[in-house]
Amino acid sequence: MKQIRNTHAKTEILNLINDSEVALSHSDIQKRLGDLCNRVTIYRVLERLENEGAIHRVVNVDGVVNFAKCIGKCTHEQHFHNHVHFNCKKCHSVTCIENVIPEISLPDHFIAEEYNFIISGICPKCNA
């Protein structure tokens, strides 16, 4: 099994995502890191962190990919993100909303194993 080394860039990117209340886009991460590493390194680190089960990707309603910390039992084999994502129409933030489970009624013979919901509206910060 290949050993994945912890680089300074990987540590900083993971800290940024873990410390953020909203999901961060590649562009957000690149701005916050400054000159620490280039955009290709950021893409590679994000892919590695996702594969390790440390972060998950969320595609917002504009098609922008955002990254948020994994909460719970994610592994490099499988992610478990059955929660709602809230996309603010004003500030374009994407927030993971845990412990909210929408009722889903599927036709016979369909078995839901995971889901990904994005709700659009105005976040509390913009609604204040």
Which residues contribute to the annotated binding site for Zn(2+)? 88, 91, 123, 126
DSSP one-letter code for 23? B
| Paired sense of beta strands 24-25 and 55-59, if any | unpaired
Question: Which residue ranges are tagged as binding site?
Answer: 88, 91, 123, 126
Relative orientation angle of helices 26-33 and 39-51, to the nearest 10 degrees = 120
Instruction: Report the Cα 86 to chain-centroid distance in Å.
Output: 12
Cβ-proximal residues to 29 (8 Å cutoff; 6+ apart), any chain: 13, 16, 17, 42, 46, 67
CA separation for the pair 40, 42 (Å, rounded): 5
